[in-house]
Chain A
Amino acid sequence: MSQSSFTERNLPVLFPLPAVIFIALLMVFPVLYTLFLSFTNWNLTSGMPAKIVGFDSYLRVLTEPRFLDAVARTFYFTVFAVIIEVVLGVTIALILNRAFVGKSIAKLLLLLPLVATPVAVGIVFNLFYDPTIGLANFVLSSLGLPQGHWISSDSTVIPSLILVDVWQWTPMITLIVLAGLASLSDEPVEAARVDGASEWQILRYVTIPMVMPVILTAMILRLIDALKTFDIIFAMTGGGPGYASETLNIMGFKYSFEYFRMGQSAVVLVALFLIVFMCSLAIMKARASAEN
């Protein structure tokens, strides 16, 4: 009686327990610990034990122009990358949603960038972008176009990185939207066609609104990832030239592992966490209203 009834009485607690422990240990603890670190002055270069200093690290980091630049750059990179990826991704999904010869091959090819390792992608694109011996400038000059500096100039480094991100992650949007399109019922489209709607009108007023929640879901996933992009940028530029491609995540990494200012690095990461959190909330709200 004793054991089985204890289990039975506490089923609602016991079943989710493993998941709760997992989340607490591997997700909540690191976040809270980072938050704790952000209130210390832990700095390995000083050789002194960490002390709790309240908001000192916050004051110091948040007033640094370098931090504000990194915030602006994070948004610059994310906004353009995600918009381009969504527009391209949805367009490709709409094209692939029609029957045509070689459709399955096209889908397979589309998957390739997704399965490539970002660091390897970064290294290949670095060769591609090399201003002297790279393919990109070779193609431009053979077409008689002026050559670019790509990732070696302050003004073109972020757009060049966005291009890599778009190349790698547009297929993800396509796949999600494609799945969304496949699950739609044909009836509203048929009805619109019977009513004499043009193809454009069907797309604009029937298909897109119906698939909008899926597009927004894909966008949230991409947005969170793009805000946190690390691998491509780190492998390609390490945040350079100078700090021209230093986003918050790169800055946090540099503060920890190059400057060893652990407390201040935690501040950068807490800021990034909050930004990601707020952006996700905003889009989830938008999604809820789109569903209504």
Chain B
Amino acid sequence: MRKILVTSVAVLSSLCISGGAMAQAKSGEIRVLLANHPYGELIKQSIPQFEKQSGIKVNVESLQESQLTQKLTTEFATKSSTVDVFMTRPLQEGKMFAKNGWYAPLTAYDFADYPKNIMGAASFGGKPYIVPLVTEWQVLYYRKDLLQQAGIKVPTNFTELEAAAQKLNSEAVAGIASRGKGAAAVTQLSSYVYNYGGQYLDKGTAVFDSKAAVDALRFYGKLLGTYGPKGVTSMSWENIMPLFQAGKVAMWTDASVFLGQIIDPSKTQVPVENFGIANFPAGPKTNAPFIVSSWGMSVAQQSKKKDLAMKFLDWATSKEMAIKGMVGNITMARSSVWSDEVVLSKINPGLIETRTFAAKNGTPVDRPYMSAVGEARDLIGELIIESINTKGTSANLEKMAKDKVNQVNGLLKDTGEYGK
């Protein structure tokens, strides 16, 4: 009898203790939403360390990028969210989130280590709302061996790019690849547009029906329609990557962020030393490929634990974490990590070279920067598909572009951003 009594007291008291501990942890708990992105993964792996240091319990969820936007939007719009910190895409959803008041202002954060042009997309009405995490810029990936066999140098301008694509193109290997899947291709087309001297938007007005922009569209369509892989109009980077790694593509223009994955020996059938990375080729007008902050991190305005959230943000965007990212070939937004000794000894030199070029000459936006960006991208995507399907010769393209410009202007008017 006594034994039973002792045991039950012991059990009960242990329950009380663990219950008490749980209650304590509850007060120091935050909810964090991350993207399925190499840096999101890095944060996730390091969270136990943060929990140990800070005593804050972190409930973390990882989502694919568009699902992350959808989840955040639904939670914030229905005012039912318990999210404290989240990863966010400044150029994709920044304007919409800021307009709806979903970001908490980060006036106390020290932004001295971030490039000015990148902060432009992270601030709204003069106040910073997003800490930039990762930058990416457009580059040319190529197969060193194939170029060598064909006796050609790495293309430095569009004329050479087309000539190389033509020469390298065969039944077995596509001369060149780039995204062709409508909306997904808009960011990759942007550098072509800039190098022809065009833009998507200018002062809150759609201008991609300019001669320069349409010429760029035609060139993109001609390249991909003639020398691109089969079915390129349904391809985004996730479809092109395996083709490139299987040796079915000779050149590929896309974001710098993919280098780490391309040269992962466990995933590629091509010897890693045969992959090269170079500056995006110059166009007839200039060479100003995009360089953008693709991911950032923010605190939710409705968070009831902003002090804990800020602690997490400080840690997740710290220089130490950024160095960890850089060593893993994740191209971070902080300026100082690019001159860090440890980083310089470990990172792929191609990344440093192409970043230096893009940081100096690049354009800090890769899509129509507006609230209704999703729909605008679909509209421009229609032009891309038309151009690829006709190998850049569509007689309709100018008219279609005018049409789409009107529609995008309509969206800008709907959201009160026209002409601003």
Show the binding face of A for B, using Cβ within 8 Å. Answer: 43-47, 130-133, 147, 149-153, 157, 237, 240-243, 254, 257-261
Q: Which residues of B contact A130 (CB under 8 A)?
A: 231, 239
Q: Which residues of A contact B372 (CB under 8 A)?
A: 45, 259-260
A105→B403 CA distance, assembly (Å): 58
User: Which residues of chain B (217-270) have a CB below 8 Å from chain A?
Assistant: 229-235, 239, 242-243, 246, 248
The verdict on B96 contacting chain A, using a C-beta distance below 8 Å, is yes
CB-based contact B229/A241 at 8 Å: no
The verdict on B143 contacting chain A, using a C-beta distance below 8 Å, is no
Nearest 9 pairs of A and B residues by beta carbon: A152-B231, A47-B99, A131-B230, A152-B234, A45-B371, A131-B231, A258-B374, A241-B233, A259-B375
Most buried by B among A45, A133, A152, A259: A45
CB-based contact B234/A47 at 8 Å: no
Show the binding face of B for A, using Cβ within 8 Å. Answer: 66, 69-70, 73, 77, 96, 99-101, 174, 181-182, 229-235, 239, 242-243, 246, 248, 371-372, 374-375, 378, 381-382, 385, 411, 414-416
A8→B241 CA distance, assembly (Å): 69
With both beta carbons as reference points, the residue of chain A lying nearest to B384 in the complex is identified as A242
A78→B349 CA distance, assembly (Å): 53
CB-based contact B231/A46 at 8 Å: no
CB-based contact A132/B416 at 8 Å: no
**Residue from the list A44, A46, A152, A257 in contact with B235, Cβ < 8 A:** A152
B5–chain A nearest beta-carbon distance, Å: 41
Q: Which residues of A contact B375 (CB under 8 A)?
A: 258-259, 261
CB-based contact B385/A242 at 8 Å: yes
**Residue from the list B231, B239, B246, B378 in contact with A153, Cβ < 8 A:** B231
CB-based contact A260/B248 at 8 Å: no
With both beta carbons as reference points, the residue of chain A lying nearest to B382 in the complex is identified as A242
A258→B186 CA distance, assembly (Å): 15
Q: Which residues of A contact B181 (CB under 8 A)?
A: 240-241
CB-based contact A133/B66 at 8 Å: no
Q: Which residues of B contact A149 (CB under 8 A)?
A: 230-231
Q: Contacts A46-B371, A259-B374 given: A152-B232 contact, CB under 8 Å?
A: yes
With both beta carbons as reference points, the residue of chain A lying nearest to B235 in the complex is identified as A152
CB-based contact B231/A132 at 8 Å: yes
A45→B382 CA distance, assembly (Å): 21
CB-based contact A45/B234 at 8 Å: no
A194–chain B nearest beta-carbon distance, Å: 59
A-side binding surface: helix, strand, loop or mixed?
loop
CB-based contact B229/A132 at 8 Å: yes
**Residue from the list B96, B99, B248, B411 in contact with A133, Cβ < 8 A:** B248
CB-based contact B96/A47 at 8 Å: yes
Pairs A–B under 8 Å by Cβ, sample size 9: A45-B372, A45-B414, A47-B99, A47-B100, A152-B234, A240-B181, A241-B182, A257-B66, A257-B69
CB-based contact B66/A242 at 8 Å: no
CB-based contact B73/A44 at 8 Å: yes
Q: Which residues of A contact B69 (CB under 8 A)?
A: 257
With both beta carbons as reference points, the residue of chain A lying nearest to B248 in the complex is identified as A132
A126→B211 CA distance, assembly (Å): 37
Q: Which residues of A contact B235 (CB under 8 A)?
A: 152
CB-based contact B182/A46 at 8 Å: no
CB-based contact A131/B382 at 8 Å: no
Q: Contacts A150-B231, A241-B181 given: A44-B96 contact, CB under 8 Å?
A: yes
CB-based contact B96/A260 at 8 Å: yes
CB-based contact A241/B374 at 8 Å: no
CB-based contact B233/A45 at 8 Å: no
Q: Contacts A133-B242, A133-B243, A133-B248 given: A260-B374 contact, CB under 8 Å?
A: yes
Q: Contacts A133-B248, A257-B73, A260-B96 given: A46-B233 contact, CB under 8 Å?
A: no
A153→B385 CA distance, assembly (Å): 11
CB-based contact A47/B382 at 8 Å: no
With both beta carbons as reference points, the residue of chain A lying nearest to B77 in the complex is identified as A44
A240→B185 CA distance, assembly (Å): 13
Besides A47-B415, A152-B230, A157-B234, 10 more A-B contacts (Cβ < 8 Å) are: A45-B99, A46-B371, A130-B239, A132-B229, A240-B182, A241-B385, A243-B382, A257-B66, A258-B375, A259-B372
With both beta carbons as reference points, the residue of chain B lying nearest to A126 in the complex is identified as B239
With both beta carbons as reference points, the residue of chain A lying nearest to B243 in the complex is identified as A132
Q: Which residues of B contact A46 (CB under 8 A)?
A: 99, 371, 414-416
A266–chain B nearest beta-carbon distance, Å: 14
Q: Which residues of B contact A237 (CB under 8 A)?
A: 234
B236–chain A nearest beta-carbon distance, Å: 9
Q: Contacts A133-B243, A133-B248, A153-B231 given: A242-B96 contact, CB under 8 Å?
A: no
A261→B229 CA distance, assembly (Å): 35
A47→B100 CA distance, assembly (Å): 5
Q: Which residues of B contact A242 (CB under 8 A)?
A: 182, 233, 381-382, 385
Q: Contacts A241-B182, A241-B385 given: A151-B96 contact, CB under 8 Å?
A: no
B88–chain A nearest beta-carbon distance, Å: 15
**Residue from the list B100, B233, B416 in contact with A44, Cβ < 8 A:** B100
Q: Which residues of B contact A44 (CB under 8 A)?
A: 73, 77, 96, 100
With both beta carbons as reference points, the residue of chain B lying nearest to A256 in the complex is identified as B70
A131→B70 CA distance, assembly (Å): 31
With both beta carbons as reference points, the residue of chain B lying nearest to A147 in the complex is identified as B230
Q: Contacts A43-B414, A149-B230 given: A258-B371 contact, CB under 8 Å?
A: no
A45–chain B nearest beta-carbon distance, Å: 4
B240–chain A nearest beta-carbon distance, Å: 10
With both beta carbons as reference points, the residue of chain B lying nearest to A45 in the complex is identified as B371
